[in-house]
Homo-oligomer: A and B are copies of this chain.
């Protein structure tokens, strides 16, 4: 039953999990209807999404909140912790490093890199900013599974390749370019300019149709 899962389903699963986290009546149950209401989707969609991964509701009752939450964490792969390397100690890197939800969800930042000599050696929490010279070496040594690229587009492709070379399993990419890496290494792009453009498009569109 678990074959090709739509990206949109994955995004909704995150939403469901978020809803359940802000739901302290942990002992109780929740219906697809209620879950849908919190997530701006439909009950049928919720059930279909979940059905991709098995059937863990009780007919007539709904879903056990505790259990569903645990199951979603498992599906999303956050029922464990991830060893993360942060590449780029600029504003965005700093913001991510400090992001509370980050650590809280098991994403452990175990190394920070930056090419700027002025930054190398700087202490960030328990971490120290390192030189890219020791990139592969450190990634391997610390068994980093996932890197966050918060560097300019010009450097991103090279660092992505080096990360893959060092055995990283996935990349969260903030640089506004399409990385060229082997398909076995998933890349998730976050492109702030694109988000702003989507917004100004939507506004312009609304105005045109008004």
Contacts and interface: CB of A to CB of B under 8 A. Distances in A.
B40 A77 contact: no
Contact of A198 (B14, B184, B197): B14
A178 B101 CA distance: 17
14 contacts: A10-B197, A10-B201, A14-B193, A14-B194, A14-B198, A18-B177, A77-B204, A77-B205, A78-B200, A95-B95, A99-B192, A102-B192, A105-B196, A146-B199
Interface string A86-98: 0000111011101
Total copies of the chain: 2
A92 B195 CA distance: 15
A48 to B, nearest CB: 17
Given A7-B198, A10-B198, A101-B192, 19 more contacts: A2-B208, A11-B194, A11-B198, A14-B191, A15-B178, A18-B193, A40-B178, A75-B201, A76-B201, A76-B204, A82-B200, A91-B91, A102-B196, A105-B196, A107-B196, A146-B199, A186-B202, A188-B198, A190-B195
A192 B18 CA distance: 13
B170 A186 contact: no
A24 to B, nearest CB: 15
Interface string A37-68: 01110000000000000000000000000000
Contacts of A170: 199-200, 202-203
B202 A188 contact: yes
B78 A197 contact: yes
B169 A203 contact: yes
A206 interface: yes
B176 A18 contact: yes
Contacts of A208: 2
Contact of A146 (B82, B107, B203): B203
A61 B71 CA distance: 53
Interface string A149-193: 000000000000000000001111000111000001010101111
